[in-house]
Amino acid sequence: MVAQDMTDNQNENRIDYGIILSVMLLALIGMAAIYMAVDNDTSASSTPLHALIMQGVWYAIGGIGIFFVMQFDTEQLWRIAPILYGLGIFLLVAVLFLYDRSVAASTGAKSWFSMGPITFQPSEVMKPAYILMLGRVVTNHNSNYQHSTANDWHLIGEMMLWTLPVLVLMELQNDFGTMLVFMAIFAGVVLVSGTTWKIIAPIASVFVVIGGGAILLVTQSWGRAILSHVGFKAYQFSRIDSWLNPSGATSGDSYQLWQSMKAIGSGQLTGRGFNNIKVAVPVRESDMIFSTIGETFGFIGCAVVILLYFLLIYQMIRVTFDTKNEFYAYISTGVIMMILFHVFENIGMNIGLLPLTGIPLPFISQGGSFLLANMLSVGMVLSMRYHHQSYMFSGESENFD
């Protein structure tokens, strides 16, 4: 009887309920926000009930996915990383030929498969696969080389070899926002890989100069001509223009951002109340979902959402330190950077701090493939605790070849 109780306690300790609770609370907020957004959108293609059912189905699929991914230990994740990466690349290439024409016509992005009423974005599947592959590459490199400037450059070169195909395919799909997510994951893993600051600092400075220079060029007619020659699209100019001057064309390019800012501002401290929406915001159930939270729940509701994200990320970091496994550390870093970038960019663009980029809010925005990718990524972090505790109780080692 005592042995059975000990086994039960051990099984409970293997599951991080704090992470699960954070995700569930974000899911509840997301369901409420989606209901309000769809119910008050006259151009919505579905009813609020249908939107909730579809989101609930994706949450159920994601929950099953979390349970499935949790069964993979370190060695199994290590072995399947190249397979998943290869599958992801295959899907990213396939979508260039089999993309949904209607979605591409409305968004300009060739990044969606269509299967009847269901659309699927393969770049979302690629995110956890890419994180696993980067973790494997860095772990393998660090186990074979001592850190030095030359070896660190070698590591960055290896990481770029696995990253460039993804970035090129994102560019071909005309999906700049998702490309930025992969770049954020890459940067986060580089930061924790042990790479010397003699390399990181100059690279970061170059990106800051390029970013600042691009913004400066946008404000000049001759600068726009230069940027057009290097690949800038008209919609990207429009988004930067609306970001720099959101009140300049409130009936045109700046309409979405201006309406979002109005909605959030109108919520004030406590919000208008559940489903009491007065300001129309395009794409409110997806990219602009934060404006719904701001208008109905006010500053307090927005603060609660940000706090939940902080708690989720904090708990992921805590799990990483508890497991003390290098491969896991890179996986969790990739997941954290993915979620953090989405949160930072989505909230930033909703309140006018950052340009619009079509980045949804994790666990809250409507979208099946995006939600599934986030759930699978959380499953990878949960597997860290699950199998680490298992190894501790059994006395086995987590080392693998």
> Is the per-residue pLDDT at 180 higher than 80?
yes
Q: What would the pLDDT profile of 49-59 be if each residue is shown by its tens digit?
A: 989 999 999 99
Residue 248 lies in a domain: no
C-alpha dist (Å) from residue 371 to 173, 219, 397: 20, 37, 34
Residue 109: per-residue pLDDT: 79
Residue 263 lies in a domain: no
Cβ within 8 Å of residue 165, ≥6 positions away: 89
C-alpha span between 34 and 366 (Å, rounded): 7
Residue 235: per-residue pLDDT: 73
Residue 229 lies in a domain: no
Q: Indicate the pLDDT class of residue 300, thresholds 50, 70 and 90.
A: very high
Q: What would the pLDDT profile of 308-357 be if each residue is shown by its tens digit?
A: 999 999 999 998 888 788 999 999 999 999 999 999 999 999 998 888 88
> Is the per-residue pLDDT at 276 higher than 70?
yes
Q: What would the pLDDT profile of 152-161 be if each residue is shown by its tens digit?
A: 999 999 999 9
Which of the residue ranges 45-49, 205-209, 265-269 has the most confident prediction, judged by mean pLDDT?
265-269
Residue 343: per-residue pLDDT: 96
Note down the domain range covering 164.
Answer: 16-194+269-390
> Is the per-residue pLDDT at 63 higher than 80?
yes
Q: What would the pLDDT profile of 210-266 be if each residue is shown by its tens digit?
A: 888 888 888 888 888 888 887 777 777 777 878 877 777 666 678 888 899 999 999
Residue 59 lies in a domain: yes
Q: Indicate the pLDDT class of residue 389, thresholds 50, 70 and 90.
A: low
Residue 328 lies in a domain: yes
C-alpha span between 107 and 119 (Å, rounded): 14
This prediction's pTM: 0.90
C-alpha span between 175 and 122 (Å, rounded): 12
Residue 381 lies in a domain: yes
Say how many domains are in the chain.
1
Torsion of CA 377, 378, 383, 384, to 10 degrees: 90
> Is the per-residue pLDDT at 44 higher than 80?
no
> Is the per-residue pLDDT at 368 higher than 80?
yes
Residue 378: per-residue pLDDT: 94
Q: What would the pLDDT profile of 107-119 be if each residue is shown by its tens digit?
A: 777 888 887 767 7
Could you tell me how far CA 314 lies from the centroid of its own chain?
16
Residue 339 lies in a domain: yes
C-alpha span between 41 and 33 (Å, rounded): 12
Crossing angle of helices 17-39 and 289-323, in 10° steps, is: 170
Contact 13, 250 (CB under 8 A): no
C-alpha span between 144 and 324 (Å, rounded): 19
> Is the per-residue pLDDT at 395 higher than 70?
no
Residue 387: per-residue pLDDT: 76
> Is the per-residue pLDDT at 293 higher than 80?
yes
Contact 139, 327 (CB under 8 A): yes
Residue 354 lies in a domain: yes
Q: What is the mean pLDDT of the chain?
A: 87
Helix (H, G, I), strand (E, B) or coil at 279: coil
- Which is more confident, 79 or 42? 79
Query: Any idea what the Cα angle at residue 36 is, between residues 349 and 115, rounded to 5°?
Result: 80
C-alpha span between 76 and 383 (Å, rounded): 11
Residue 13: per-residue pLDDT: 65
